[in-house]
Structure 1
């Protein structure tokens, strides 16, 4: 982080390690608690281990980074020569991560702009990458923030889960919607809307839900130059097949990434998650 404006995000951005290294992006880890044991996402618990814990119905919760962790990250950036920091995080509707970053920013030795992107996954990752690219091009602190906020405003994220139970347990979606979905034996299609998880459509079967997810992504992309990310949890074949179909159907696609979500998001969606992020450049 030797650049004049440092870019900080959190571990739910799921940016490829080589991308983070190339653009000097730092990710502060969230924590997953399994059977009372606190484990850092990305280093101490894998998506596979998380999926196994969920399938065995072991108690799983998540927690935000502490303000002290953010303070240390900001201090390291300043010590490396940064004169300003952009700190971009997952939706405050999901986590107290944004609030922890705000608390730490108050005592930082350099200006820190903390942004609630109202996104998660590569929807957040694209925002962090855009801010880093703005800085690479010589942009100021304000210009990097503006670039990230513009990217966030145009980005859409849609996802399919096999069951709403995990989201209901974590309080990420209304209990009434979860019960309704179970009662009707439907497969839910969800979307990020205003930083919250909302039910977009209810489809009768998994195959129809995934086909509809594909259609929604293609419609959202239209003819714009877009980056696309396909996320999954314990469903690599399903994700790969969807990615290939999207590659064929979105002619203006600028970039495509397929990746498994980490333990924090996986804890709230459960195995079988399939998500698509569409982010205009």
Structure 2
């Protein structure tokens, strides 16, 4: 389980980063009985999670015989270095129901409700493990939400839920906020190689691109919770252009604006340029984050992803 300190929502009156703003936004102090949790695929650094009162349940990275808690025992830079210089293919595993039970028991021991978001159930058994934990704890009020996304998409949903909780939303209202964000959420990305997705079993409908992988750069999308092909182009710069184009198209459909976040896997300079361009296309500042270790195991070094949703 996560070693982060358990924090109640009144602590959220400190400054938190709103997903659509560059500056720090001070949320109003509000007494809420809801505790927040998420699995580590939201790629929120542990210190930031502790500051905003979010309990992280880590997935695991497995390299040979070594097992690491995602984001806690191994960071993104270390993982990518090992992936580039080792022939050992890293694997991942989900938290167990027992690990969720421990966290839920600690958070809900005083009768408080719990809202917990997870990676898409179509990609991982994490959601199922969380649900099993709630079934073993019938006396607790736990709301488990399948984000049907991952990485920056999950992170944006968490940001929206944290902001709503800081404003005094109850668990039911948090579910409504999460559902509204998830309803328009898109996550498009490109990878240097489909091989990591293939090895990890997360390739979904993009398997159809494997035969031509040497000749194209894939544009992929998380659609209905799974990875699906969106387009294919000849060069990596053109692939990045297509990501930005998708942001612009959706923003135009949503009245000229979109909330947007860019994630990079050991490609900070390139990620920063994509964030600048995506922000211009969205009419909003685009935050840049690191792809965390678990997601990095499947996307591989060099991946760039853009998540965006209709403003709420």
Q: Structure 1: how far apart are the matches of 2:176 and 2:46?
A: 24
Conserved 8 A contact 1:15-1:122:
no
Within 5 A, what are the aligned runs for 1:184-203? 185-203=215-233
2:239 is aligned to: 209
Deviations along 1:122-141, one digit per CA (max 9) or x if unpaired, are 21122222223222222221
Classify 1:161/1:85 alpha carbon distance in 2 versus 1 (closer, same or farther; 3 Å).
same
Within 5 A, what are the aligned runs for 1:85-100? 85-100=114-129
Gaps in structure 1 of 5+ consecutive residues: none
Classify 1:15/1:176 alpha carbon distance in 2 versus 1 (closer, same or farther; 3 Å).
closer
Measured after TM superposition, the shift of residue 176 of structure 1 is: 4.3
The DSSP-based 3-state class of the residue aligned with 2:213 is: helix
1:260 is aligned to: 290
1:24 is aligned to: 53
2:140 is aligned to: 110
Gaps in structure 2 of 5+ consecutive residues: 1-6, 10-32
Q: Structure 2: how far apart are the matches of 1:234 and 1:156?
A: 22
The DSSP-based 3-state class of the residue aligned with 1:115 is: strand
Conserved 8 A contact 2:160-2:177:
yes
1:14 is aligned to: 43
Q: Structure 2: how far apart are the matches of 1:248 and 1:128?
A: 23
Q: Structure 1: how far apart are the matches of 2:135 and 2:119?
A: 19
Measured after TM superposition, the shift of residue 150 of structure 1 is: 1.2
The match for 2:164 among 134, 137, 140 is 134
Is 1:146 the equivalent of 2:176?
yes
Q: Structure 1: how far apart are the matches of 2:69 and 2:173?
A: 32
2:263 is aligned to: 231
1:182 is aligned to: 213
Is 1:53 the equivalent of 2:85?
no
Aligned pairs, number = 277
Measured after TM superposition, the shift of residue 266 of structure 1 is: 0.4
Q: Structure 2: how far apart are the matches of 1:170 and 1:88?
A: 22
Conserved 8 A contact 1:67-1:101:
yes
Segment of structure 1 superposing worse, 4-13 or 131-140: 131-140
Measured after TM superposition, the shift of residue 22 of structure 1 is: 4.5
TM-score by length of 2: 0.83
Q: Structure 1: how far apart are the matches of 2:224 and 2:280?
A: 30
Q: Structure 1: how far apart are the matches of 2:202 and 2:246?
A: 22
2:306 is aligned to: 276
The DSSP-based 3-state class of the residue aligned with 1:85 is: strand
Q: Structure 2: how far apart are the matches of 1:176 and 1:27?
A: 31
Q: Structure 2: how far apart are the matches of 1:176 and 1:9?
A: 29
2:99 is aligned to: 69
The match for 1:242 among 263, 274, 277 is 274
Conserved 8 A contact 2:250-2:258:
no
